Structure 1
């Protein structure tokens, strides 16, 4: 009898221990989480963060796309998607982060860019800071994976990226074959700054089958001499609706055949965000571009 009782007691203790540990394992708390950010720093999180501040719009969007929007407690002033984040406390930007307000929110994770001036101070105050700055499509894939791991779901990032890839491929299939290889001027700001071949925008255009007037050697988002654009004579011009409307009045730009022939894609501010943020809405951006490209008038024959 004593031996039987001892075996029963041992089984009971084992069952109780399993019952106690099961909720912790299910919540992903069995082991700390470790993420290497774009500064090369390893950030250890004792548990999946429940109070997240994001200071980069593309990272805000990624958190929400990874089904963790409810964990956000504050964002930068530019984060505006999805609509639910617009009501969160706005904490400035990368250059003017409102440190005291941010600390008062007691975040257990702050998402920021490598270029943010606030990073060192936030870490000095004891906050866990993960700096991520996607610049290419490959970077975006990597960042989604890192965020998924940081949020406690390592499979979520790769799964989301696979969905984006499928949608971008479907968008590319809608671009008319006649546009393949035609050169695009994609203006990101009116100085003018353009998206070059090596930017995530340039890579997205390449996925859609069109070319770029800004070669890789000029960098991802170079400032151009306006005469460069006139000499390049792009087949298609893309920018904000306001910029495209103003372009014909720029000195010499009236000679751009793309403007003369209406071979332009001008986007309002809200859809424009999807094109210039390297995050989970890239596929939506590809679809917007494909729809515009498919609706362009054919290029007129050039006079000889």
Structure 2
């Protein structure tokens, strides 16, 4: 009996050595620039330079793999204690290299990609600009990090947005909205992920599609459109009614203006895993501030 046990232990030990000796199966991921990144094993030290990518990594269950983030990544709370390496467009290359990442996540608009690649780092450029992009990026990150759950996350987002849409009272659908994405003013056009969200909620958008996703507009444009409802962040509040003629807007006079705090703005302007929460914030705004039945034009 002891002989058989000895042989069994020897066989198991030999098998374990063999398994450990086999290198991890390599795989490839193509980023949004068409650059193919080869992975020998799932990355364990990740630097993220875009808040929506940071949030997606965490929602996929890999927050512990992050070793550095950009200065704007602030959710979930766990990432606030990580080293910051500058902004997404102007990161500190030296700080990133010092963290010894095996993968750096950047926006396609970042100018740092080529410099980081030249230094031998693996760089994945991903930038969701629409709702469909955000769901696609979730799947791509799930593949890059070799993590399950990306499909479930994408499905939960879609279901959450649909639930938010159902919560908008039928008599408030069709409201014409001006959504100020940032001071400037920069508006959210119909082709932006924010504009798409408004459409899914059954709302209109005063911005013409040909102006692009986030155009800088003349405040006179909003005066002429006279929206039913205004959505904006706190940073725009002081400037909003000080703009010439804006006190005469129907939305301002009837207090149909939703002002979102800084934390809510982060949710609203990041096309990532919190899009369902963003949809519910918009739906709540419509329900609480929307015009009574028959008041839309």
Is the CA contact 1:33–1:149 (under 8 Å) kept in the aligned structure 2? no
Is the CA contact 2:164–2:279 (under 8 Å) kept in the aligned structure 1? yes
Match of 1:72 in 2: 66
Distance 2:32 2:175 in 1: 35
Following superposition, the deviation at residue 293 of structure 1 comes to 1.3
Match of 1:298 in 2: 291
1:246-283 deviation digits (Å, cap 9, x = unpaired): 31221111221011111111100011100000111111
Give the one of 30, 38, 46 matched to 2:40.
46
Distance 1:301 1:67 in 2: 47
Following superposition, the deviation at residue 236 of structure 1 comes to 0.6
SS at match of 1:239: strand
Match of 1:288 in 2: 281
Distance 2:95 2:248 in 1: 51
Match of 1:138 in 2: 132
1:80-111 deviation digits (Å, cap 9, x = unpaired): 00111111100001332111111011000000
What is the aligned residue count? 291
Change (3 A) 1:85 1:297: same
Match of 1:5 in 2: none
Distance 1:301 1:145 in 2: 43
Following superposition, the deviation at residue 53 of structure 1 comes to 0.1
Cα RMSD for the two superposed structures: 2.4
Is 2:94 the counterpart of 1:100?
yes
Where structure 1 has 5 or more consecutive residues not aligned to the other structure, the ranges are 1-8
Give the one of 196, 199, 209 matched to 2:192.
199
Following superposition, the deviation at residue 35 of structure 1 comes to 0.8
Is the CA contact 2:228–2:291 (under 8 Å) kept in the aligned structure 1? no
Following superposition, the deviation at residue 23 of structure 1 comes to 7.3
Distance 1:253 1:17 in 2: 78
Distance 2:70 2:27 in 1: 25
Following superposition, the deviation at residue 299 of structure 1 comes to 4.6
Distance 2:149 2:293 in 1: 47
SS at match of 1:271: helix
Is the CA contact 1:238–1:244 (under 8 Å) kept in the aligned structure 2? no
Distance 2:133 2:168 in 1: 25
Give the one of 233, 240, 245 matched to 1:247.
240
Distance 1:178 1:127 in 2: 54
Tell me which stretches of 4 or more aligned residues in structure 1 moved more than 3 Å: 15-25, 299-302
Where structure 2 has 5 or more consecutive residues not aligned to the other structure, the ranges are 1-6
Is 2:175 the counterpart of 1:182?
yes
Match of 2:4 in 1: none
Match of 1:226 in 2: 219
SS at match of 2:241: helix
Distance 1:53 1:17 in 2: 38
Following superposition, the deviation at residue 33 of structure 1 comes to 2.5
Following superposition, the deviation at residue 57 of structure 1 comes to 0.6
1:190-211 deviation digits (Å, cap 9, x = unpaired): 2111000000000111111111
Distance 1:274 1:39 in 2: 26
